[in-house]
């Protein structure tokens, strides 16, 4: 019973944090940071048995609030884990395109139907029933846009989902 209570407290704390993130004044503490390092930290936070990570990342800097961008990657990775029912491979790649770096996080999970894909960025939209309040992708989109970036999703039912996060590359003067 204590284990269940502890798990539920953590879940409730995460939900409250997500809601607060949506209502907080958005003050970013931007600095040059290594994208690969941010992604690696997000992967480490989400490591569990049954989930494998494959990665092919370019070494590049972005001008970002490191904690907030790590949160973006972590939210997307959490969704990928859930879609695969905590068993499978998450593939993370990055590539440079013009003055942007595009990071793609793909899973081999259940994928999304057209309705879910259309609503996935809407606040309070979730397919996880009582386990989530549907703020993870909303927060990820908001943070990405605050960094002059873009996030988009493609998905196919029973084949998986790919999330593309496009951020401007940091240019040293």
Q: Output the domain CATH number for residue 65.
A: 3.30.565.10
Q: Looking at the 3D structure of the chain, how many domains does it have?
A: 1
55 inside domain = yes
Task: Provide mean pLDDT across the span 36-61.
Answer: 94
68 inside domain = yes
What does the block give as tokens for 149?
């970036």
32 inside domain = yes
Domain ranges, residue 26: 2-168
Q: What are phi and psi of 20, to 5 degrees?
A: -65, -35
Q: What is the DSSP string of 53-109?
A: EEEE----EEEE-HHHHHHHHHHHHHHHHHHTTT-EEEEEEEEEETTEEEEEEE--S
Q: DSSP label at 129?
A: G
22 inside domain = yes
173 inside domain = no
pLDDT in tens, 53-110: 999 999 999 999 999 999 999 999 999 998 898 789 999 999 999 999 999 999 999 8
């Amino acid at each position: 019973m204590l284990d269940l209570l502890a798990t539920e407290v953590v879940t409730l704390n995460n939900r409250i944090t997500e809601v607060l993130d949506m209502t907080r004044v958005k003050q970013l503490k931007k600095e040059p940071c290594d994208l690969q390092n941010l992604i690696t930290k997000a992967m480490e936070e989400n490591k569990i048995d049954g989930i494998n990570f494959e990665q092919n990342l370019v070494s590049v800097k972005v001008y970002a609030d490191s904690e907030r961008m790590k949160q973006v990657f972590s939210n997307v990775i959490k969704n990928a884990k859930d879609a695969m029912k905590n068993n499978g491979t998450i593939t993370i790649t990055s590539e440079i395109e013009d003055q942007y770096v595009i990071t793609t996080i793909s899973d081999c999970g259940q994928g999304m139907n057209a309705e879910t894909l259309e609503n996935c960025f809407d606040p309070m939209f979730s397919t996880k029933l009582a386990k989530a309040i549907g703020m993870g992708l909303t927060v990820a989109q908001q943070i990405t846009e605050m960094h002059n970036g873009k996030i988009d999703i493609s998905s196919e039912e029973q084949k998986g989902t790919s999330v593309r996060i496009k951020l401007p590359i940091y240019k040293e003067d």
